[in-house]
Structure 1
Amino acid sequence: MRKIKKLHKAVYAPMDDLVTYRAIPTREVEYIDPFLFLNHHGPQVYKAGNRGLPFGPHPHRGFETLTFILDGDIMHQDTGGGKDIIEAGGVQWMTAGSGLIHAEVSSDKFKQEGGPLEILQLWFNLPAQHKMTSPKYIGLQKDKIPVVELDNGKVRVNVISGSWGEVQAPIQNLSDIHIVSIELQKVGEFVYNIPAERNIFFYVVRGTVKVNGQTAEKLTLVEFDNEGKEVKVEASEDAYILFGHAQPFNEPVVSHGPFVMNTEEEIHQAFRDYQMGKMGSWD
């Protein structure tokens, strides 16, 4: 079995009236190469006539984002031409690359009617050779995501990026990052093998699971060592997890706010380019 290094509890980091827990970075773990950042928004219920999500226009460069909409919705728009509303069960993948400006807000319908909201956003680094690639956006509603059922239907794997066994995901990214979300009924279990040299991302969104014999409750990031291949997960109660793996880049990571590059000078250049309008303009 793959050895577990440590369990990390996400820290409470609210944003205005948005309930938020941050799994990485924290004081205990900066990042798990190339997984840089995870914010878990909600779960909470918005009243009718709310302001919705607070993520108005802002720039990004040098990385990619994957947003999971568990409840509620997100209205996305960016200066690369992406425009979409993704509802519960769907995902959004955005390659910021050389830079763009985007906004992630709630739809007019959600702001008018309110309702439950739970959203997670995961950031992936881009290797130096792809930092300045052209921006790209992909939005997938729930019915466009392949599902693999295991353990007589007690485990449902939503295949989002890369592959799961022989099932190819609808998103094939630049860095061979594999990501799934997994819904487990109580006592549901699965085993998956990942080469020891690849880093694992494992976050418990809801419920409680046993992973390689250790109990991990909701809002827990499981950090693995690079020894062993097998990951065995057993659900102690109904649960939902994010699970992925990737080859580490082993490159310098320099980040400042919305930009993630390899050197301080590249960060300064990103700010200059943004100020000069090279990432687009927002009407």
Structure 2
Amino acid sequence: MTPEEVHPMPAITADDLTVLPRLTTPGLGDQPRPVWQVSTAPQGHEGEGFPVRRAFAGLDLAHLDPFIMMDQMGEVEYAPGEAKGTPWHPHRGFETVTYIIDGVFDHQDSHGGGGTITNGDTQWMTAGAGLLHIEAPPEWLVQSGGLFHGIQLWVNLPRDAKMIDPKYQDIRSGEVALLASSDAGALVRVIAGSIAGHSGPGSTFTPMTLVHTTLEPGARLELPWDVEFNALVYVLNGRGTVGTDAHPIHTGQTAVLGAGDYLTITADGSQESRSPKMDVIVVGGRPIREPLAWAGPFVMNTRSEVLQAYEDFQRGHFGHIPG
């Protein structure tokens, strides 16, 4: 693919939402999830210098379980020569989920896995017992510059799965389940898990759901959500409200929701011209409720397991960087 052929088309979209399966409005007795907390992501730089927002920074890990962290990478328009990735680095004990909304990312690991993900694709890497891994924009994108935007979510693995063999899921944008809100004003992309009986392609050790939704100005989304799962709502861009009591939320903010059968997101009637719609990631899963020892790229249950991971890494047990 040459740079001239690339047309920015954030994630996967549908021209006509009215032809998609519709979510029904909540039934009698369905409980809305209350808003417990809203936090604002600090901004920083990761790897060799690409801008990130740490979506869940400052939130109680008990509210995040089974997730560890999430980064919003970009949204950034790179000038020629500016685009950057990460150097080779190890992982053990969890899964990284990289979802590219706009742009192109190459990835490679010490087990021979890897590939290219672009607009709306997801690379789901189960690090398990451990591997080395690198993520970078392709050389032509570095030369030409261009738009880059995505998220990376870290999903914890339960104790009995932490040392499994590493594996990949390469999820293409066309495999994602597409739904519409009851008013057809919001597009719901189900990447993993299930919404109202419609399942996404991502397969997970820990039962969870990952959704990217785009709301037109003024649209209201009532999203059914598994009662056993926690629920986190992160705004990629735009502004609106979350919860039935209309708690304001905007770009770079995360809402932690309490228990219930469904959650409500409403986009403000007027959005800024830079992001004319509201884009939101909704993620939740069944809490693992095991001790957590997390240091850098290793997510284990005890401090001694983390120290063992560092030792194994230094001894070359995570494989070798391909020549």
Q: TM-score, normalised on structure 2?
A: 0.82
Alignment-mate amino acid for residue 258 of structure 2: D
Q: Which residue of 1 aligns with 2:20?
A: none
Aligned residue in 2 for 1:154: 185
Q: How far off is 1:102 after superposition?
A: 0.6
Q: Which range moved further: 112-121 or 190-199?
A: 190-199
Cα deviation code 1:147-182 (max 9, x no counterpart): 112245421111111112221211121111111111
Conserved? CA contact 2:234–2:254, under 8 Å: yes
1:256 to 276, 291, 295: 295
Indicate which of 66, 85, 97 corresponds to 2:116. 85
Q: How does 1:36-75 map to 2 (within 5 A)?
A: 36-50=68-82, 52-75=83-106
**Structure 2 segments unaligned to the other structure (5+ residues):** 1-31, 272-276
2:257 to 217, 224, 227: 224
Partners in 2 of 1:145 and 1:198 — Cα distance? 21
Structure 1: how far apart are the matches of 2:110 and 2:198? 33
Work out whether residues 183 and 220 of structure 2, in 8 Å CA contact, stay in contact via their aligned partners in 1: no
Shift of the 103–17 alpha-carbon distance from structure 1 to 2, 3 Å rule, reads closer
1:2–1:196 CA contact under 8 A, matched in 2? no
Question: Aligned to 1:56, what secondary structure does the other structure show?
Answer: coil
Aligned pairs (5 A) from 1:100-139: 100-139=131-170
Query: Is the partner of 1:19 in helix, strand or coil?
Result: strand
1:266 alignment partner, SS class: helix
In structure 1, what is the equivalent of residue 53 of structure 2? 21
Q: Which amino acid letter does the alignment assign opposite residue 222 of structure 1?
A: A
Deviation of 1:113 (Å)? 1.0
Offset at residue 100 of structure 1 (A): 0.7
Task: Report the 3-state secondary structure (helix = DSSP H, G, I; strand = E; otherwise coil) of the residue aligned with 1:202.
Answer: strand
Distance verdict in 2 for CA 1:225–1:149, change over 3 Å: closer
Match for residue 176 of structure 2? 145
Contact 1:162/1:171 (CA < 8 Å) preserved in 2? yes
Q: Which has the higher strand share?
A: 1
> Judging changes above 3 Å, is the alpha-carbon distance between structure 1 residues 230 and 152 closer, same or farther for their aligned structure 2 residues?
closer
SS of the aligned residue for 1:158 comes to: strand
Distance 2:148 2:40 in 1: 21
Stretches of structure 1 lacking an aligned partner (at least 5 in a row) = none
Task: State how far apart, in whole Å, the 2-side matches of 1:171 and 1:32 are.
Answer: 20
Deviations 1:2-26 (A, max 9, x none): 1211100001122454222112233
* 1:269 paired residue among 300, 308, 312: 308
Q: Does 1:194 align with 2:225?
A: yes
What are the Cα deviations for residues 167-216 of structure 1, in whole angstroms up to 9, with x where unaligned? Answer: 12111211111111111111222212334442112111111121112111
**Is the 8 Å Cα contact of residues 25 and 36 (structure 1) preserved in structure 2?**
no
1:38 counterpart SS class: strand
SS, match of residue 143 in structure 1 = helix
**Deviation by residue 1:247-272 (Cα, 9 ceiling, x = unmatched):** 11111111111000000110011112
